[in-house]
Structure 1
């Protein structure tokens, strides 16, 4: 018998699974299977819901809107909006509404800007803003004041406490000028206003005297003033006293400062030498010798010491130019005055004191060297104070 061949299996349709041999690749390994065809298992040609980039908003449209809102940039907002619209159409971007809003706001702002320029409203607004900023920068707490600053407090110098003051150019009218500061020490608790007032007055008097050596340059109605801590600020650690020259009657113009920072060496030496005579003279006791002889005699001794010290100070210094002769003449006058004040300081009783009193004042130069001051370039007109001594 001829060998017979096994009957052939009918061919299966193309792509059908095979009955013999290796099994067909599964769905997750087939190189042409549906799950390997596209991103995230989506066949080619189908939309990719998660892989497609989002639609962006045009940045110029956003800039147009912001510039249109900001009143000082309306032309920029208009330009950005006009550029943004064609870009949005070409790139299929979002932001058309933003661009249109920016254009509209920019046009309105431009019209308002032009109107403001024509009417002058913008200039007035800018000027008013500048004035407001300047005023705010000048407004300080009294305890922020610094030595040499002049200030105004809107007529509140007589108030118990001031909350703010305005810094003013010293060349312009002002209420006060700061002469210095000091810290209160030696108190474990709030000592009371009366106690602090006494300390502040004494210390500020010394500070003011050193700040304005040319006392004749200080207006008559200007006197010692100070800001001191309140009981409330004391609890917060405030211990600072601000000393000043201030006018209780009105404002004054020009700085009263005359110390080492503004004076020549000759001017400073002259004032430091002669000023103690004036200072002691103002401390004459209120009670006359018949009521308090001891106090008056002690004061006369202080005046004698001040006169003698001034005479020695003038003699040991070289005085240049136009000041030489008048300073020498002042020295001779002080020599004569010293003899009479020695007699007054040595009076045995009130009657003897009265006998020497007028002569002592008469021999003391009333102007304390006005010609010498002229030669030195100092204020040469003495101020007239209420309640001056009998020699004035």
Structure 2
């Protein structure tokens, strides 16, 4: 912008007002006196010498004012470039991020906008996201991710919760591996599993998959006779399974262990409920099975050593526990008033158990393994399952002993129950 020159003879020609008019029409002033100056003629002309007085210049130029800036405005950022970068960083809709980056580059070139670096970075990150997504789809990881997302969105360590007495079908038809959901169905029809107990794992840091599974197995096998009190009624092809917390759900406070019955053949199913407890048994059946459970639990405390000679002291302590359990069992049987048809058979059974108890006492006092075996064999014969068949028949209970039954302990399955993480 040009600055107006100061008034005076230095001004270019054509900048003066027309002759005969005041030099500054917007700021009139009295005319200078005519005639010679008392001080003599002015060397400058007809105007007297005097103090300089400045008047506003009427020209078209204005000084800097509001609304003007001495600098140029920078080019704006391209919005699509920003969006492409955000989608690339989040790995969300990577294909969209890649397309937005390409369109942004075209717009930036035409409009002279900024954001080329953001567009290129978004394209690179989105391309990586597309590759990862393809790998997840190919390996099945996409489904696992979605299932995990649903689990987290549910606000708890587990996406489902099962309770004692419920039956369900596993979506993949197996009770092995990791489960995210199940379909609850009536127990009267076919189903994959039946929940018989709920337990809580120990507190503390996660001990590892094997330790959690071992703890769940011990708990669930111990609780089988609280639900299926008549072990003879459990089919031989049924075993114990369990749901356990995962490492991730453990970190959120999940300690729930779900115990269930399932078929040992993953292609087979269960039909009808296996529940035999106070909700389904009559008073006589319940009294008999509660007394039998006392002996069964004592029998299950046998030493780990397979042969008596490998741990004679341990077997003698076991014999003491069994003899004590027989005292309690016969006391419970004689303390309950059974119906006449079953009462007579129960009385005969109690006498056999008394004789067996005496043999267990002698086994507990045996000086060597051979003596222990002698009394142990006599005791088992007096407790043989076939000696209880007539009593069970009179009570309306199952009369077919399970395979590999020892000491009338009942129950089914073995030591190899399987777990599934949730």
Normalised by the length of structure 2, the TM-score is: 0.55
Using the TM superposition, give the Cα deviation of residue 326 of structure 1 relative to its aligned residue in structure 2, in angstroms.
Answer: 0.6
Map of 1:103-142 to 2, 5 A cutoff?
none
- Counting matched residue pairs gives 249
Please say if residues 333 and 350 of structure 2, whose CA atoms lie closer than 8 Å, have aligned partners that are also in contact.
yes
Please say if residues 362 and 391 of structure 1, whose CA atoms lie closer than 8 Å, have aligned partners that are also in contact.
no
* Corresponding residue of 2:146: none
Which one has a bigger Cα radius of gyration? 2
Gaps of 5+ in 1: 1-140
* Corresponding residue of 1:271: 289
* Corresponding residue of 1:41: none
Aligned CA distance change for structure 1 residues 390 and 172 (closer, same or farther; 3 Å): closer
Using the TM superposition, give the Cα deviation of residue 164 of structure 1 relative to its aligned residue in structure 2, in angstroms.
Answer: 2.5
Aligned CA distance change for structure 1 residues 239 and 205 (closer, same or farther; 3 Å): same
Residue 364 of structure 1 is aligned with which of 367, 383, 399?
383
CA root-mean-square deviation: 2.5
Please say if residues 173 and 251 of structure 1, whose CA atoms lie closer than 8 Å, have aligned partners that are also in contact.
yes
Q: What is the CA–CA distance in structure 1 between the aligned matches of 2:262 and 2:344, rounded to whole Å?
A: 36
- Asked if residue 326 in structure 1 is aligned to residue 326 in structure 2, the reply is no
Q: What is the CA–CA distance in structure 1 between the aligned matches of 2:258 and 2:160, rounded to whole Å?
A: 7
Per-residue CA deviations over 1:89-132 (Å, capped at 9, x if unaligned) read xxxxxxxxxxxxxxxxxxxxxxxxxxxxxxxxxxxxxxxxxxxx
**Which structure carries more relative contact order (alpha carbon 8 Å, separation 6+)?**
2
* Corresponding residue of 1:175: 192
Normalised by the length of structure 1, the TM-score is: 0.59
Per-residue CA deviations over 1:311-356 (Å, capped at 9, x if unaligned) read 1111111111311111111111111111111111211121221232
Q: The residue matched to 1:144 in structure 2 has which SS?
A: coil
Gaps of 5+ in 2: 1-157, 411-422
Aligned CA distance change for structure 1 residues 390 and 292 (closer, same or farther; 3 Å): farther
Q: What is the CA–CA distance in structure 2 between the aligned matches of 1:142 and 1:215, rounded to whole Å?
A: 32
Q: What is the CA–CA distance in structure 1 between the aligned matches of 2:306 and 2:408, rounded to whole Å?
A: 14
Structure with higher helix content: 1
Please say if residues 317 and 364 of structure 2, whose CA atoms lie closer than 8 Å, have aligned partners that are also in contact.
yes
Map of 1:48-67 to 2, 5 A cutoff?
none
Q: What is the CA–CA distance in structure 1 between the aligned matches of 2:347 and 2:200, rounded to whole Å?
A: 42
- Asked if residue 210 in structure 1 is aligned to residue 226 in structure 2, the reply is yes
Using the TM superposition, give the Cα deviation of residue 389 of structure 1 relative to its aligned residue in structure 2, in angstroms.
Answer: 6.8
Using the TM superposition, give the Cα deviation of residue 185 of structure 1 relative to its aligned residue in structure 2, in angstroms.
Answer: 4.1
Q: What is the CA–CA distance in structure 1 between the aligned matches of 2:263 and 2:363, rounded to whole Å?
A: 36
- Asked if residue 242 in structure 1 is aligned to residue 258 in structure 2, the reply is yes
Map of 1:1-392 to 2, 5 A cutoff?
143-153=160-170, 154-157=172-175, 159-187=176-204, 189-249=205-265, 250-285=268-303, 286-367=305-386, 369-385=388-404, 388=406
Q: What is the CA–CA distance in structure 1 between the aligned matches of 2:182 and 2:320, rounded to whole Å?
A: 44
Using the TM superposition, give the Cα deviation of residue 173 of structure 1 relative to its aligned residue in structure 2, in angstroms.
Answer: 2.5
